[in-house]
């Protein structure tokens, strides 16, 4: 398939810039694949449409304050870094163990190997150690104290670039799922943002089961597809951890005839990676799995997801799950009914 098959026009005012007052107050489009029908409701009512005794699989990754704004120590010029992936874990104090991170830098063209950037009041210093040709930089961090603590103090919520405002104190909580637990993501698994603890408890009381896994959302979420033949696109690797207990819980649910409902595209990628043979097994490591139309799904029966960017790998995954034409019609339906798009936007449930 071609990249143009996943393009669509989107008015700027359809992109949600702020979260709603209530997480589960967002709108929900329920899509029946077989009947090819759309139903409009609220996310708080999702229990009325989930398969009976289904299992929800949640991604418990937690967004870190991965956006750093500082100044070059040589010139005072502004530099913004987005932490992408830790290449080597380390200590701030021990010279031989200093942490090295892969980052996106802006402006990248002004940096060279050896450039040092200061953040906060000098609590954190980054030194550029490598500038590969792939668009990323590698930096070594220096600080007095624990890197995670300093990051929590001076880092910012890494809101997506289509949210045209500075992050606020509210974003620190709202750009995070209520069940987030494992630090490591640079973007939220946004389908999960609609859930409240009360809604989850209400669903469990009706017989819905839950299981968790971890996929640390990385730059692959934002990385644009630049090739016309989408089959030649290479995904940026993302870290997945599905424990033995979690895998067993999901296998048992499938064995009992429960439908597996993935909460978000990240869960689809994780489950289809861990269940590539048809049996869900424990998994710990990175995945470059790219799901696009033609993919044979082995684990996932239903999907909760937000509305995604044109020409994005996420839109391609959803189109693979539901059918390209049906998703194109669903997006047109959403625009006609003034749905809110992207991270802080509304959701769909594909059955």
Statement: residue 95 has pLDDT above 60: no
Q: What are the phi and psi torsion angles at 59 (to 5°)?
A: -100, 115
> pLDDT value at position 290?
95
Of 123, 154, 185, which residue sits at a domain end?
154
Shared-domain flag, residues 207 and 340: yes
21 within some domain: yes
9 within some domain: yes
Instruction: Express each pLDDT in 15-57 by its tens digit.
Output: 999 999 999 999 999 999 999 999 999 999 999 999 999 999 9
Evaluate whether 87 touches 295 at the Cβ level (below 8 Å): no
Q: What is the CATH number of the domain that holds 181?
A: 3.40.1780.10
Q: What is the Cα–Cα distance from 43 to 265, expressed in whole angstroms?
A: 17
Does this model's pTM top 0.85? My answer is yes
Q: What is the Cα–Cα distance from 165 to 185, expressed in whole angstroms?
A: 20
Q: What is the Cα–Cα distance from 335 to 14, expressed in whole angstroms?
A: 8
Shared-domain flag, residues 128 and 266: no
> pLDDT value at position 96?
57
Instruction: Express each pLDDT in 52-86 by its tens digit.
Output: 999 999 999 999 999 999 999 999 999 999 999 88
Instruction: Express each pLDDT in 176-223 by its tens digit.
Output: 999 999 999 999 999 999 999 999 999 999 999 999 999 999 887 667
Q: What is the Cα–Cα distance from 75 to 56, expressed in whole angstroms?
A: 52
Q: What are the phi and psi torsion angles at 213 (to 5°)?
A: -145, 175
Domain of residue 115, residue span = 67-154
Of 154, 188, 211, which residue sits at a domain end?
154
Shared-domain flag, residues 236 and 321: yes
Shared-domain flag, residues 48 and 192: yes
> pLDDT value at position 93?
62
Shared-domain flag, residues 176 and 29: yes
| Total domains in the fold of the chain | 2
Of 127, 154, 181, which residue sits at a domain end?
154
Q: What is the CATH number of the domain that holds 142?
A: 2.40.10.240
159 within some domain: no
162 within some domain: no
Shared-domain flag, residues 269 and 297: yes
* DSSP sequence for 229-272: BGGG--PPPEEEEE-HHHHHHHHHHHHTTPPEEEESHHHHHHHH
Among 70-79, 90-99, 148-157, 231-240, where is mean pLDDT lowest?
90-99
Statement: residue 92 has pLDDT above 90: no
The secondary structure element, H or E, covering residue 56 is: strand 55-59
Shared-domain flag, residues 149 and 74: yes
Shared-domain flag, residues 195 and 244: yes
Shared-domain flag, residues 55 and 72: no
Shared-domain flag, residues 312 and 260: yes
Statement: residue 134 has pLDDT above 80: no
Q: Is 297 helix (H, G, I), strand (E, B) or coil?
A: coil
Q: What are the phi and psi torsion angles at 274 (to 5°)?
A: -70, -20
């Amino acid at each position: 398939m071609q990249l143009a098959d996943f393009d669509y026009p989107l008015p700027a005012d359809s992109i949600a810039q702020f979260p709603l007052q209530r997480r589960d107050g967002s709108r929900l489009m329920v899509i029946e694949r077989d009947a090819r029908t759309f139903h409009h409701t609220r996310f708080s009512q999702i229990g009325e449409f989930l398969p009976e005794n289904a299992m929800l699989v949640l991604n418990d990754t937690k967004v870190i304050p991965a956006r750093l704004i500082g100044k070059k120590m040589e010139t005072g010029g502004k530099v913004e870094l987005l932490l992408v992936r830790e290449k080597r874990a380390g200590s701030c104090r021990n010279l031989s163990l200093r942490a090295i991170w892969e980052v996106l830098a802006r402006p990248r063209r002004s940096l060279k190997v050896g450039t040092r950037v200061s953040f906060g009041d000098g609590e954190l210093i980054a030194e550029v150690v490598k500038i590969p040709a792939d668009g990323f930089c590698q930096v070594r961090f220096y600080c007095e104290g624990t890197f995670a603590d300093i990051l929590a103090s001076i880092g910012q919520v890494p809101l997506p670039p289509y949210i045209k405002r500075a992050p606020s104190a509210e974003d620190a909580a709202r750009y995070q799922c209520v069940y987030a637990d494992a630090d490591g993501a640079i973007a939220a698994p946004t389908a999960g943002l609609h859930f409240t603890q009360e809604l989850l408890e209400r669903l469990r009381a009706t017989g819905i089961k839950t299981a968790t896994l971890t996929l640390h959302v990385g730059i692959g979420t934002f990385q644009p597809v630049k090739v016309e033949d989408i089959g030649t696109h290479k995904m940026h690797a993302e870290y997945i951890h599905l424990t033995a207990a979690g895998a067993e819980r999901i296998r048992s649910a499938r064995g009992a005839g429960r439908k597996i409902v993935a909460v978000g595209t990240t869960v689809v990628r994780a489950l289809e990676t861990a269940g590539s043979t048809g049996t869900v097994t424990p998994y710990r490591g990175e995945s470059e799995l790219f799901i696009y139309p033609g993919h044979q799904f082995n684990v996932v029966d239903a999907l909760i997801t937000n509305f995604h960017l044109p020409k994005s790998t996420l839109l391609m995954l959803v189109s693979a799950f539901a059918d390209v034409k049906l998703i194109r019609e669903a997006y047109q339906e959403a625009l006609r009914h003034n749905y809110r798009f992207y991270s802080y936007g509304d959701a769909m449930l594909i059955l």
